Amino acid sequence: MSASLIRRLLARKLAVGWVVSLLALLVAANAQASRTVDLASNEALCATGGHACIKGTLSYDTNSRLLTLRGRVQFAPGPGEFRITVKGSNRLGHVAFAPMEIKVRGKPTEIVDFKMIPDHPDVESWQIDHIEFVLATDLNRGTRAAPD
């Protein structure tokens, strides 16, 4: 084999190795950038006073910025709306709130599948701040839930 042929083969092999290494780095970086954080995992999410609960998982995907609640109504006094407010802060320490309003029929074992993207793209870390339940009759009157 000539020296020039050996140099070309080595250069190709190095180029292929470099491309493979770059792709591996990109895949690893993407896997770390996208993670799902559970705010509550298969837990009872109950309104203040415990008169209405959803058992499920509330999670946040940092890549898509999607807040997801999947679960079932455990009990509720009737049709109404769960108001789950999550709170987070950005890197500068500014606090943000994201309200989730989930209408339910209030039947036990009713499936809850709710998704939303919060208005604050700079917040990556959320936690549950408070949960309320407002009966449909109170929603129609425009009143807020009474604190328990």
Q: What is the CA radius of gyration of the chain?
A: 24
Per DSSP, helices labelled H in 34-62 are: none
Burial class (CB in 10 A: 0-12, 13-18, 19+), 121: exposed
- Record the tokens describing residue 133, joined without a space: 């339940």
Name the 3-class secondary structure at 27.
helix
C-alpha to C-alpha distance for 62 and 125, rounded to whole angstroms? 8
Average pLDDT, the chain: 84
Question: Considering the entire predicted model, what is its pTM?
Answer: 0.71
| pLDDT confidence of residue 139 | 72
Write down the residue that tokens 């701040």 correspond to.
Answer: 129
User: Does residue 14 surpass a pLDDT of 70?
Assistant: no
User: Does residue 103 surpass a pLDDT of 90?
Assistant: yes
C-alpha to C-alpha distance for 78 and 107, rounded to whole angstroms? 7
Span 108-122, mean pLDDT? 94
Q: What is the length of the chain?
A: 148
| pLDDT confidence of residue 9 | 60
More confident residue, 71 or 124: 71
| pLDDT confidence of residue 3 | 73
**Res. 12 pLDDT band, cuts 50 70 90:** confident
C-alpha to C-alpha distance for 40 and 74, rounded to whole angstroms? 15
- Record the tokens describing residue 20, joined without a space: 């493979």
More confident residue, 81 or 18: 81
